[in-house]
Amino acid sequence: MSSYALRLPESLKQAAKRIAAADDTTMNQFFVVAIAEKISAMETAKFFEQRAALAASGAADAAWNKVGSKAPLDGDTWE
């Protein structure tokens, strides 16, 4: 575990203190969870951007080509 000195406006400190107390936790735990949530959200967005890029690159067409020459069932289309 490491330490990091955090400088933040007094208004944010007071809000974090109030919310942490209402949640029966420490400000440190509040900040750790908030940072973890932000990292998770940003990494999730990056993951889906990468997946979308794969789909745009024709990976979906390559998968369909493996299916064979059978026509899709009714309602089983990309559109």
d(CA 61, CA 76): 14
Asked if 49 and 35 count as a contact pair (C-beta separation under 8 A), the reply is no
The DSSP secondary-structure symbol of 57 reads: T
pTM higher than 0.75: no
- Lowest pLDDT segment from 20-24, 44-48, 49-53, 71-75: 71-75
Q: For CA atoms 23, 26, 29, 34, give the dihedral sign.
A: positive
pLDDT digits (tens, 9 = 90+) for 24-48: 999 999 999 999 999 999 999 999 9
